[in-house]
Amino acid sequence: MSKVALVGCSSYELYQVKKALLRGFSYFGGIKRVFQNKNRILLKPNLLTGENIEKAVTTHPSLFQGVAEILIENDFVCGYGDSPGFGSLETVAKKAGLYAPLKNLKIEKADFNGKQEVSYPKALQNRQFTLAKGVFHFDAILSLPKWKTHGLTRITGAVKNQFGCIPGLLKGEFHFKLPDVLHFSRMLVDLNLLLKPDFYIMDAIVAMEGNGPRNGRPRFMGLLAFSHDPIALDATLSRLVRLDPRMVITCLEGEKGGLGYWQENAIELVGDDFSHFYQPDFDVQREPMISYRKEGLLRSFRNLLLSKPIIDFSKCQACGVCIEFCPAQPKALYWKEKNRIPQHNYKYCIRCYCCQELCPHGAIRIKTPSIGKLLKR
């Protein structure tokens, strides 16, 4: 059995968040018990990119500050790090509201620029990773994911949060090498098995629905969720938004790999009642989607069947971010008229949805052809 604690928190007022955090830790015997025999704790928030806090793209600074204060009050040494999809850690952290806690509290900045090669022979699929060096300077990881929708993996929560431990542009290489969601999800599971974060606190006070993980709508859920098990946490949050966890490939593959449990009868829910947080109309991709395959019959019918990124030209500011970060080789985006209109070339597009994820102006959305919705992944 894995335990998941659901704790209501009606705002990001620091005193309320701290109260909810202390209650959450209490279901696991308190923070000293959670980090038994550990001293140096690395906070891993979701700092996808520098956006205003209200847009709910990044882990809220009150959660970050509340956790850091509780750790320091309990004599732990605290650090933080992430490798944003776009922008430097300093710039993104500042925009995400972390400037005050980082200035006022003793929180080390972990080295997320330096790289370290690591082998993981027991992996399901990926036996070699290049990780941020700073991860290895701490005794434990406390993962602080944000609950959001995602174009490729449907949701980004506890498991996907560790993708930020892969430095900079190396993340794009994984998208290129593992374009289909099954292999990409297996890689995420291996990454989590290797890093083994000790504990997870999901920021779902204000989550994101719709065109996530950067350009969706903030959605109030009033919830902080706690667990040692990232699969149980993602599966529980999925059920809360009426998404069958079997649609979340990291849940299925994670259980196979021994990372945790997704089935309801293997999860012990404690804290507030599940029904307080249930949001059946949460806007998330629930329909089956056809996954990209490099080879096979599907290749010929790809553009007919697969979901694809579409640019809304009325919103596009011609900034070029989508072209810069497209990991396909050759790139599946190009300037139709120099500096005026980006255009997709679906022949090369591997459906990683990095362009939709990183577009700073919310100009790219994913369109699923109706014929594609009829066929199972």
- Shortest separation between residue 240's beta carbon and ligand SF4, angstroms: 28
CA nearest neighbour of 363 among 355, 372, 374:
355
How many helices, marked H, and strands, marked E, lie in the chain? 13, 16
Q: Can residue 320 be called a binding residue for ligand SF4 (CB under 6 A)?
A: yes
- What CA–CA distance (Å, rounded) separates 27 from 19? 13
Backbone angles phi, psi at 206, to 5 degrees: -120, 115
Pick from 77, 193, 269, 318: which binds ligand SF4 (CB under 6 A)? Answer: 318
Residue with Cβ nearer ligand SF4 (71 or 326): 326
- What CA–CA distance (Å, rounded) separates 102 from 57? 19
Q: Single out the segment in contact with ligand SF4 by CB under 6 A; choices: 1-9, 197-205, 259-267, 361-369.
A: 361-369
Pick from 266, 361, 365, 369: which binds ligand SF4 (CB under 6 A)? Answer: 361
Q: Can residue 317 be called a binding residue for ligand SF4 (CB under 6 A)?
A: yes
Pick from 70, 316, 334, 369: which binds ligand SF4 (CB under 6 A)? Answer: 316
- What CA–CA distance (Å, rounded) separates 165 from 110? 11
Q: Can residue 152 be called a binding residue for ligand SF4 (CB under 6 A)?
A: no
Q: Can residue 343 be called a binding residue for ligand SF4 (CB under 6 A)?
A: no
Number of residues that bind ligand SF4 (CB under 6 A): 26
Residue with Cβ nearer ligand SF4 (280 or 330): 330
* Site string (274-313) toward ligand SF4, x via CB under 6 A: -----------------------------------x-x--
Kindly state the tokens that stand for 36.
Answer: 């038994």
Pick from 364, 368, 370, 374: which binds ligand SF4 (CB under 6 A)? Answer: 364
Question: Is 363 in contact with 317 (CB distance < 8 Å)?
Answer: yes
- What CA–CA distance (Å, rounded) separates 48 from 161? 9
Q: Can residue 271 be called a binding residue for ligand SF4 (CB under 6 A)?
A: no
Residue with Cβ nearer ligand SF4 (123 or 306): 306
| Residue recorded with tokens 């990183």 | 358
CA nearest neighbour of 242 among 135, 364, 149, 124:
149
Q: Can residue 365 be called a binding residue for ligand SF4 (CB under 6 A)?
A: no
Question: Is 111 in contact with 81 (CB distance < 8 Å)?
Answer: yes
Backbone angles phi, psi at 191, to 5 degrees: -60, -40
| Residue recorded with tokens 């969706």 | 216
- What CA–CA distance (Å, rounded) separates 339 from 318? 6
- Shortest separation between residue 308's beta carbon and ligand SF4, angstroms: 8
Q: Can residue 350 be called a binding residue for ligand SF4 (CB under 6 A)?
A: yes
Q: What angle do CA 126, 309, 373 make, to 5 degrees?
A: 85
Residue with Cβ nearer ligand SF4 (47 or 332): 332
Residues near ligand SF4, by CB under 6 A: 309, 311, 316-322, 326, 328, 332-333, 342, 344, 349-355, 359, 361, 363-364
